[in-house]
Chain A
Amino acid sequence: MNDYRHSVVLDEEKCTGCTTCVRHCPTEAIRIKDGHAEINTNRCIDCGECIRVCPHKAKKAMCSKLEHYMHYKWKIALPAPSLFGQFAGLDDVDCVLQGLLDIGFDDVYEVAKAAELVSAYTRLYLKTEGIKKPVISSACPVISRLISLRFPYLKDNLMPMLPPMEIAAILAKQKAKQEHPELKDEDIAVFFISPCAAKVSYIRNGYGDYKSNIDVVVSMSEIYFLLIGVMKRDKPPTVTSESGMIGIGWASTGGECAAILNDNYLYADGIQNCNQVLDSIENGNMPAQLEFIELNACISGCVGGIMTIENPFIAKTRLQTVRRYLPVSKNFLQQETNFIPPEYITESLPSYIPISRLSDNMGESMRMMAQIQRLRQELPGIDCGACGCPTCRAFAEDIVKGFIPGIENCVVLAQRKCNEQKKEDGKDDSVATD
């Protein structure tokens, strides 16, 4: 797992070594070392929480710059549906699609269109006998990675289907080759316009053995600024959106569930809330009739991604306007369809990575754990973060793992010792002056 390439990068100059990100990281992957934040890549799930909370803007999501990739002969833009929530006063998605063509793309393929297909296949999948329920959506890559790291028991509950952006990429390439048979594989490039850092990592690293069909990932904020420059034109759009309410609804939490077309679903967002839901599923503490679970790491869903521009709640409201006059769905399966095409299925489920394991040997793990417990009794337990660890417990763990020399690195204990010393010195002084 050491070769997993994350998309969260640190600007060391801007990082002051404050502990905001350390305390907010849901997997306790960050420590302050030598005055700046350091991410443990094995633990990082690319949720982007550290980018979101950094008061110094020292954390960034790494993305490709559009201008470096304009040399491809046939460039296809894949806008995530959350893009449509970024513009004030937008009532027609076509204007955004036209804008994408105007900034230099040769074609546009909506991820929302593929999302409607995924919804249709999900409804089909839920009827399959013998599957493990509740089925958990595999659309949010943070959740898939979280399950692989912490909830291995739930991996069979994951929907075994590729996320909409991948299916959009496959379909977009097929369409390009059909319409332009003269194009060679290397002429075509699919650009995903991403709302979040996690999708960037997913595309770079693939998913298990699966390699992404997307060639370039650009950030939604970069595209946004290019689009507002061209979208003011008064000419009518030459492209027409091919997605309905369901597809665009995927941009915010609950949209995917609504597309299940029955009541037996649950949705949650925010990484801590998702953690709680996963804990409950693992404990079997879920209503029996529950069929489908949608979990999004970002509050409000994809519109809350860190590469978006607009406040997620406003974006969500705007999407309500955009969706109002759309048909429920514009994409359906053929009547006789009774299986998910194998090219849309991902067999390579994430494999369990026991990241928090102290040692490979149980006896050794137990000895280390006992040592952690002893240390915790000595520590102040106020989780101040001054040592660079998120909690006193994490500090104790780091000592036992050998990352921190010893308990003398606890600032609070050192201060206490210092105060006691002063008191004693004071006593000595008073004795001396008497």
Chain B
Amino acid sequence: MSEFLNFHFEVDGDNFVSAGQASVQMKKNMRQLGLAPEIIRQVSIAMYEGEINMVIHAHGGVADVNVYEDRIEMILADKGPGIKDIDLAMQEGYSTANEQVRALGFGAGMGLPNMKRYTDEMKIETVVGEGTTITMYVNLK
């Protein structure tokens, strides 16, 4: 196993206002690592969407970002309701977010599609009633 840097974040489930904090922190870390602007953007968008998802659907969770020399691995794990139909969830515009969340401007059904679009690889492990772990990779050229 090659050397890597780990950044660990707790994503607070009850706080929409602070959702996205991990993404902002990661942005700062990536700037310090000297990553290309495009990579920084990809990772921060994927992280942001993932964080928001955990807040909306799962009452928060934990995010681990591992930076390797050739790629960035993002693992977002929650103990939420799980995803019943992954194919449906991956469709743009599909969302199970409630009215309250939508009133805040979230729940547009773009979270998972965006996470896939801005990363090079995405894996979803989910058990209904137990939780979801999403792992995403962005390759560093």
Residues of A participating in the B interface, judged by any CB pair closer than 8 Å: 150, 152-153, 279, 282-285, 287, 352, 354, 356-360, 362-363, 365-366, 369-370, 373, 397
Contacts and interface: CB of A to CB of B under 8 A. Distances in A.
Nearest to A280: B20
B68 to A, nearest CB: 9
Contacts of B40: 153
B38 A153 contact: yes
Contacts of B67: 366, 369
A254 B50 CA distance: 33
Nearest to A357: B34
Interface string B99-141: 0000001000000001000000000000000000000000010
A366 B71 CA distance: 12
Interface string B28-50: 11011111011011001100100
B32 A365 contact: yes
| Chain A interface SS verdict (over half) | helix
B140 A362 contact: yes
A117 to B, nearest CB: 33
Interface of B: 3-5, 20, 23-24, 27-29, 31-35, 37-38, 40-41, 44-45, 48, 67, 69, 105, 114, 140
Nearest to B48: A283
Contact of A373 (B5, B28, B31): B5
Contacts of A152: 37
Contacts of B23: 283
B24 A279 contact: yes
A122 B24 CA distance: 31
Contacts of B5: 366, 369-370, 373
Q: Which of A282, A287, A363, A373 has the most CB of B within 10 A?
A: A282
A272 to B, nearest CB: 12
In order of increasing CB-CB distance, the 4 nearest A-B pairs are A357-B34, A152-B37, A356-B31, A365-B33
Interface of B is mostly: helix
A358 B37 contact: no
Given A279-B24, A362-B69, A366-B67, A357 B33 contact: yes
Nearest to B46: A283
Contacts of B32: 356-358, 365, 369, 397
Given A153-B38, A366-B67, A373-B5, A283 B44 contact: yes
B34 A358 contact: yes
Nearest to B4: A366
Nearest to B140: A362
B41 A153 contact: yes
Given A282-B41, A284-B114, A366-B5, A150 B31 contact: yes
Nearest to A284: B45
A352 to B, nearest CB: 7
Contacts of A354: 31, 34
B138 to A, nearest CB: 14
Nearest to B67: A366
A150 B41 CA distance: 12
17 contacts: A279-B27, A282-B44, A283-B48, A284-B45, A352-B37, A356-B32, A357-B31, A357-B32, A357-B34, A358-B32, A358-B33, A359-B34, A366-B3, A366-B4, A366-B33, A366-B69, A373-B5
Contact of A283 (B20, B29, B31): B20
Contact of A369 (B29, B48, B140): B29
